[in-house]
Amino acid sequence: MRSSYSYTKAACYLGYVTQAIVNNFAPMLFVLFRAELGLSYVQVTSLVTLNFGIQLLVDLLSSFVIERIGYRPCIAAAHIFCALGLSCMAVLPFVLPAYAGLLLSVCIYSVGGGLIEVLISPIIEACPAQNKAAQMTFLHSFYCWGTAAVVSVTTLIFALFGTGAWRYAALGWAALPLLNFALFCIVPIPTLEEAGESGMRPRELLRAGTFWILALLIFASGAAELAMSQWASSLAESGLGVSKALGDLMGPCLFAVAMGVSRLVSVRITAHVRLESWLAASGGLCVLSYLIVAFSPLPALALAGCVLCGFSVGAMWPGVFSLAAQRLPRGGISMFALLALAGDLGCTAGPTAVGFVAGALSDDLQTALLISVVFPLLIVLLLVLPRIAQWHGRGKMLHRQ
What value does the mean pLDDT of the chain take? 81
- Express each pLDDT in 199-216 by its tens digit: 667 677 777 788 899 999
| Selected residue with higher pLDDT from 7 and 233 | 7
CA atoms within a 13 Å half-sphere pointing along the CA-CB vector of 167: 12
Write the DSSP symbol of residue 370: G
Q: What is the pLDDT of residue 394?
A: 46
Q: What is the pLDDT of residue 195?
A: 54
Cα–Cα distance for residue pair 259/252, rounded to 1 Å: 10
Q: Is the pLDDT of residue 330 over 60?
A: yes
Q: Is the pLDDT of residue 182 over 90?
A: yes
Q: What is the arithmetic mean of pLDDT over 284-297? A: 88
Q: Is the pLDDT of residue 80 over 90?
A: yes
Contact 195, 188 (CB under 8 A): no
Q: What is the pLDDT of residue 175?
A: 93
* pTM (predicted TM-score): 0.78
Contact 180, 11 (CB under 8 A): yes
- Express each pLDDT in 364-378 by its tens digit: 677 778 888 889 999
Q: What is the pLDDT of residue 398?
A: 36
In Å, what is the CA distance from 53 to each residue of 209, 271, 299?
25, 35, 32
Contact 55, 117 (CB under 8 A): yes
Q: What is the pLDDT of residue 400?
A: 46
Q: Is the pLDDT of residue 26 over 90?
A: no
- Express each pLDDT in 301-324 by its tens digit: 877 888 899 999 988 888 888 888
Q: What is the pLDDT of residue 311?
A: 92
114-123, 274-283, 391-400: lowest mean pLDDT where?
391-400
Q: Is the pLDDT of residue 235 over 50?
A: yes
Cα–Cα distance for residue pair 341/71, rounded to 1 Å: 18
Nearest 5°: phi and psi at 347? -65, -30
Q: What is the rounded end-to-end Cα distance, in angstroms, of the chain?
A: 63
| Domain chopping of the chain, boundaries | 5-393
- Model confidence at 392, pLDDT cuts 50, 70, 90, reads very low
Class of domain 5-393: mainly alpha
Q: What is the pLDDT of residue 130?
A: 67
Give 379: exposed, middle or buried? Use CB within 10 Å, 0-12, 13-18, 19+.
Answer: buried
Q: What is the arithmetic mean of pLDDT over 117-131? A: 80
Q: What is the arithmetic mean of pLDDT over 179-204? A: 76
Q: Give strand ranges (E) for 207-310.
A: none
- Express each pLDDT in 4-25 by its tens digit: 688 888 999 999 999 999 888 8
Q: Is the pLDDT of residue 173 over 90?
A: yes
| Selected residue with higher pLDDT from 247 and 275 | 275
In Å, what is the CA distance from 96 to each residue of 87, 105, 273?
14, 11, 54
Q: What is the pLDDT of residue 50?
A: 85
Cα–Cα distance for residue pair 288/202, rounded to 1 Å: 36
